[in-house]
A and B are shown apart, each in its own frame.
Chain A
Amino acid sequence: MIYLDHAATSPLLPEVKHAMKKAMDEIFGNASSLHTPGHSANQAIEDARLKIAKLINANPEEIIFTSGGSESNNTVIRTFANKDIVVSAIEHPSILKPTKKYAKNCIVLPVNQQGEVIFDDDISADLFSIMLANNELGTIEPIQDLSKKVHNKKSYIHTDATQAIGKIPVDVKKLDVDYLTFNAHKIGGPTGIGVLYVKNGAPFEPLMLGGHQEKGRRAGSYDTISVIGFGVAAELASKPQKDLRNLRDLLAKRISEKIPHSSINTPLENSIPSILNVSFEAAEGESIQLYLDLEGIAVSTGSACASGDGKPSHVLMAAHHDAEVAHSSIRFSLSNENTKEDIDKVMEVLPKIIERLQKISTIKIKGDKK
Chain B
Amino acid sequence: MTSDKSCDTKSSWVYSDIVKEHFLNPKNFLMGDEKKYPHDAEGIVGNPVCGDQMLMMLQIDKKTQTIKDIKWKTYGCASAIASTSALSELAKGKKIDDALKITADEIAEYLGGLPKNKFHCSVLGHEALEKAIQSYKDMLK
Stretch from A80-88, A109-117, A168-176, A289-297 that touches the partner: A289-297
Q: Does A204 contact B (CB under 8 A)?
A: no
Q: Which single residue of chain B is at the shortest CB-CB distance from A324?
A: B48
Q: Which single residue of chain B is at the shortest CB-CB distance from A311?
A: B51
B24 to chain A, nearest CB (A): 7
- Contact partner of B77 (CB less than 8 A), chosen from A284, A294, A359, is A284
Interface class of chain A by DSSP? mixed
Q: Are B51 and A323 in contact (CB under 8 A)?
A: yes
Q: Are B32 and A305 in contact (CB under 8 A)?
A: no
Q: Which single residue of chain B is at the shortest CB-CB distance from A301?
A: B77
**Using Cβ atoms and an 8 Å threshold, which residues of chain B touch A11?**
1
Within 8 A of A (CB), among B12-62: 13-14, 20, 23-24, 26, 29-32, 44, 48-55
Q: Are A286 and B55 in contact (CB under 8 A)?
A: no
**Using Cβ atoms and an 8 Å threshold, which residues of chain B touch A361?**
73-75
| Docked pose: A282 CA to B48 CA in angstroms | 9
Task: Give the one of B24, B30, B51 with max A CB within 10 A.
Answer: B51
Q: Are A363 and B48 in contact (CB under 8 A)?
A: yes
Contact with B along A314-331 (1 / 0, CB 8 A): 000000000110010000
Within 8 A of A (CB), among B83-137: 117-118
- Nearest 5 interchain pairs by C-beta: A305-B77, A286-B77, A304-B51, A1-B7, A323-B49
Interface residues of B (CB under 8 A from A): 1-4, 7, 9, 13-14, 20, 23-24, 26, 29-32, 44, 48-55, 73-81, 117-118
Q: What would be 24 A-B contacts, judged by CB atoms less than 8 Å apart? A: A1-B1, A1-B3, A1-B4, A11-B1, A282-B75, A287-B23, A287-B78, A287-B81, A293-B13, A294-B9, A294-B20, A294-B24, A305-B76, A305-B80, A310-B117, A323-B49, A327-B48, A359-B31, A360-B26, A360-B30, A360-B31, A362-B44, A362-B55, A362-B75
